[in-house]
Chain A
Amino acid sequence: MKKSLVIIMMLMLLSGCIEDNIIDDILMAEAEGYDYIGNNQVIGTITTPNYAQGGVSGSGGGGLPATASMMSSATTVTYDGRSLAENLQPKGQKKIKVGKLRIMLFNEALLKHGFEKTIHFRNQDPEVGRDMYLAMVDGSTKDLLTATYQTAIPISRYVYDLIFQNQQQNFPKNNLSTFLYSYYGRYADPMMPIIKREKDHIVLTGIMFFKHDKYAGRINGQQKAFIFKTLVENFKFGFYDYTFQQNEHAVLENVSSSRQYVVKNGNSATPDIFATIRITGYVRQGSPLLKTKDYNSTIKRGMEKDLEKQIKKMVAGFQKSGIDPIELGQIVRSYTRHFDGASWSDRYPNARFHVKTKINIVETGVSQPR
């Protein structure tokens, strides 16, 4: 008993030297930005939220004065694939920790250069959560992270909320976890959203696609994002703007969208992929709609046709550039016995993609069409 007590005390008291991270004694990097400047060099920027700036609520005037504001952003030049937090440590008033990293931003040049090292390093680090967002920035990330905006909340939260709420709507779900899945997974290519600074705003402009770890193309606007999203996941919310005549629009608000794939001849040179997309939604916008009484022919059929056309065009584009963000390869593999994976990359561009959309308009608002 005594012996075990001594051993326990030794274990406790001699090993109690692990590094602590008391929350108000560390700087939590919440956003990292990487700007590639050529020659394997990047400009790295981190931002940390500044909690004590607004004074301490509830301290009621007594006690210590509110701590003065702390560093909110720092920049350094380093080589590609290096931890920014470590590299910026000399600039840190307190320890810089990356455990609460929310967003990682990259400029187009870095993605064109290839960011294998960066993503590999991020994957290795156990301290960072997998629910953070990756995004490409049109322009300089340093510029985006250090600019002032209309909102006073920290830039990391701003971008995080922006991406989060848009992924509830028209943009497909994408975070570090899903990114790494398609990055390391076979027959799939990752993607990430594109953001852009517009004076004192940040805008989500589109989605960019990778061919393995390199930039391979992009789509712009939430219309295209909606079309893309119908192909990659079942989802609720989001909307699709349909122009059925010149200057006459109908906006389909999605209640639920589901996709279904069937694959035939998966191992042939030209596999047949049949996609069925069912969308249930309502139309509440568009006074021109009220002039037509026949939804089925004008709006519903028109919308279905339009969507089919757009989807085919988009998939053809992917096939042409040899990228597979929809993960069609995975779908074909799952439908095909003894799937021939080695030749898939050659067969993918020749695959025949058939799509059928079925739209169900459940309501058109409170007023009746005249």
Chain B
Amino acid sequence: MFWNKRKNQEMKQDESAAPKTMTDLLLRLKDHPDFSHYRHSRGSFQCWISFFNSLVNVESVHRDVLPFLYDEHVHSLSDIQERIPVEKVEQTTDLKTVQSKLMEGSIIIQEREDSPKCLIVPTVLRESRQVEPPEVETSVFGPKESFVEALDTNISLMRKHIPIPQFTIEQMRIGKISNTRVCIAYIDGVASKENVNTVRQRLQDLELDHLTDTSALSQLVADNSHSPFPQFIDTERPDRTVNALYEGKVAVLVDGSPNALMLPTTIIEFFIAFDDYFISWYIATFTRLLRLFAVAFSVFSSPMYVAVLTYHYQLIPIDLLGSLITSRSVVPFSPMAEALVLELMIELLREAGARLPTKVGQTIGIVGGIVIGTASVQAGLTSNVLLILIGMSALAAFTTPSYRMGTTIRFIRFPFILAAQLWGMLGIALCFAYFVSHLLKQTSLGRPYIEPIYPLRLTDLRDSFIRLPNTSQPERPMLLRPEDAGRFNKKRAKQKVGKQKTDIDE
């Protein structure tokens, strides 16, 4: 096609714009205010040193690199390479490597200004946030660490939990211009080769100029990027990531992003808080079922209100009719308009709360709760009953541990409301059928998205919306097809737990 041709030409032009010789490169960088390029000479030996002040740890340059250039035995680049106490010093004539290393914060040392032969001394400035407690995925129990923006710190956070050589980290660069470092992490011998290969292939095939965050990446590598349902979990908790790695998943980390992506994922995992593993199994089961109910309530309450009040008055219990009709009799809108007005208000509140700085954020609660809530009822814009329903469903939507899934749940109720207005309960059923068929078709990294339910995998159901005790989960999730399916020996686990016997003095 002709437009493709033009695109390809444009790309070629980009290539041709790159500097061709070392002189060319230096000429281009010369004008940057943070670029240092100067001649060093000591006796007969002289060399050219160039680096970016802003990218280099200047202190360590002064302490660890420059003094060695004054050594009397230094006569060539190789002499410097031998003497400098910095690891991974290399010599190269490849202009591309020189350029990218320079832009990442290495020092380049040349013998002559126009010589392509360079010594690259890495003295990268690692300045990043401290490791802090998680803010988005807060938990009551368990570790209180979260990922930061520096990739190496994040890897070290994970390595601490997985002290084995099989913990593999593959690095690649993504982004034509940005060249962002992206790491695939997995445990060799546990994670399925197929999964790892799929992730690797998807990342390598990416066609983009720059990459800033894992959440952007998750949409790019998703099986169906048009789906409202997120297909990969991104988490800021190292403990959760490590747990996923032990299960046989693959994690993807991006330099500059405080989140790790866990692949593949089923829909049920979005409703699992990591806390659940730290509390006794029946309480965890209770909270998970509570969340499941919350999701159903959140999606269906306002559409049901619309459907029942518009079409199916027969379904309303006779004792409820009075309060429903009296609260609705002053409302000038149809139930759908009324529901949309309130839903919109809640959406606005949520959005405003997310955008405002935390200090001003408290005002939102007051404005939302008191002014809008009560006043809209008194002004006769909405009915009391609906206000309770919408308030509860908003609350229910936020019980979902994953904020990403929470927004999806809040979003999909709008089609439900529209369908309820058009066809009543039948519309809700149709809409539900539509979403179910969408979920049935959905995959995550080629694995079924609603796995323990369809296809039914009883072993995986043990850690889904219920959680059985750890001793009865000796296998890794079947979904992931792990290389090593067993976590531990079930027989021995049972033996050690043994039968409860009362003490002799009890």
Chain A interface (Cβ within 8 Å of chain B)? 12, 16, 18, 20-24, 26, 28, 30, 49, 51-52, 54, 56-64, 66-67, 97, 99-100, 102, 127, 129, 157, 160
Contact = CB atoms under 8 A, between A and B. Distances in A.
Contact of A22 (B309, B322, B377, B422): B309
A24 to B, nearest CB: 5
B103 interface: no
A23 B309 contact: yes
Interface of B: 309-314, 316, 318, 321-322, 324-332, 334-335, 377-380, 384, 422-424
Contacts of B309: 22-23
Contact of B325 (A52, A58, A60, A160): A52
A87 B220 CA distance: 64
Given A22-B309, A52-B325, A66-B329, A58 B314 contact: no
Contact of B313 (A57, A66, A99, A102): A99
Contacts of B329: 24, 51-52, 56, 66-67
A28 B30 CA distance: 85
A60 B335 CA distance: 21
A24 B328 contact: yes
Contact of A16 (B313, B321, B331, B423): B423
A20 B334 CA distance: 10
B313 A100 contact: yes
Contacts of A24: 325, 328-329, 331
19 contacts: A21-B310, A21-B311, A21-B312, A21-B313, A23-B309, A23-B313, A24-B328, A28-B313, A51-B326, A52-B325, A52-B329, A56-B330, A58-B377, A59-B378, A59-B380, A60-B377, A62-B379, A100-B316, A157-B318
A28 B321 contact: yes
Given A64-B380, A99-B313, 14 more contacts: A16-B423, A21-B312, A52-B325, A52-B329, A54-B326, A56-B330, A59-B330, A59-B377, A60-B377, A66-B330, A99-B314, A100-B318, A129-B314, A157-B318
A62 B327 contact: no
B324 A63 contact: no
A97 B313 contact: yes
Nearest to A63: B380
Contacts of B422: 12, 16
A30 B379 CA distance: 31
A117 B376 CA distance: 50
Contacts of B328: 23-24
Nearest to A101: B314
Contact of A51 (B311, B325, B334): B325
A57 B326 CA distance: 7
Nearest to A16: B422
A64 B313 CA distance: 24
Contacts of A63: 330, 378-380
Q: Among the interface residues B325, B327, B378, B380, which one has the most CB atoms of the partner chain A within 10 A?
A: B325
Contacts of A100: 313-314, 316, 318, 321
Q: Among the interface residues B309, B328, B329, B377, which one has the most CB atoms of the partner chain A within 10 A?
A: B329
Nearest to B328: A24
A56 B335 contact: no
A138 B310 CA distance: 39
B428 to A, nearest CB: 14
Nearest to B334: A22
Given A56-B326, A64-B332, A18 B423 contact: yes
A151 B329 CA distance: 24
Contacts of A64: 330, 332, 380
Contacts of A12: 422
A137 to B, nearest CB: 21
A62 B313 CA distance: 28
A22 B310 contact: yes
A23 B384 contact: no
Contacts of A30: 318
Contacts of B334: 22
Contacts of A18: 311, 423-424
Nearest to B309: A23
A59 B380 CA distance: 7
Contacts of B379: 62-63
A322 B119 CA distance: 117
A217 B202 CA distance: 84
B327 A56 contact: yes
Closest 3 pairs between A and B when the two form their complex, measured CB to CB: A63-B380, A99-B314, A62-B378
A102 B314 CA distance: 11
